[in-house]
Amino acid sequence: MDPNVLVQHVDWFRGLDLISVVDHFARIQTADGIDQPGFQLLLELMERPNYWVKISGADQRTNAPYPYADVVPFAHALIAKAPDRVMWGTNWPHSNMFVYGRTPNDGLLLNLMLDFAPDESIRNRILVDNPARLFGFDD
């Protein structure tokens, strides 16, 4: 999903009453700032219990070099809004590597979780508990 799609179809997204997972930080670009309309709408949607977000593809959200420090405030904002509905993923197998011209190191991407969620209990929710609940693994 592109952040402009969120903004253009805001009423449709607000009207969804089924479980919806937004991936890759809603494909925001950090250069557009944390106040960009698409990200602010994502934060609004995350107030609803049916919305989930994947904080994945950090390397694609920025032009900065690793460790992509400008992505961290976006992760913090999403985690603060709904720590029980945030998940992480590698974006493997990186099928869009041709678009970005590189294949990221998944280990380094996982290391970002230490910056995204310094608290171990929150990290555990994002990496284990939240996906288990969403996908019914608890059953």
- Annotated active-site residue 111? The verdict is no
Task: List residues bridging with 86 in a β-sheet.
Answer: 53
Catalytic residue among 91, 96, 105, 111: 91
CA of 82: how far to CAs of 4, 40, 46, 47, 95, in Å? 22, 14, 6, 7, 29
Residue by residue, DSSP assigns 30-71 as GGG-TT-HHHHHHHHHTTSTTEEEE---GGGS-SSPTT-GGG
Nearest to 27 by CA among 2, 5, 52, 45: 2
Which positions are annotated as active-site residues? 91
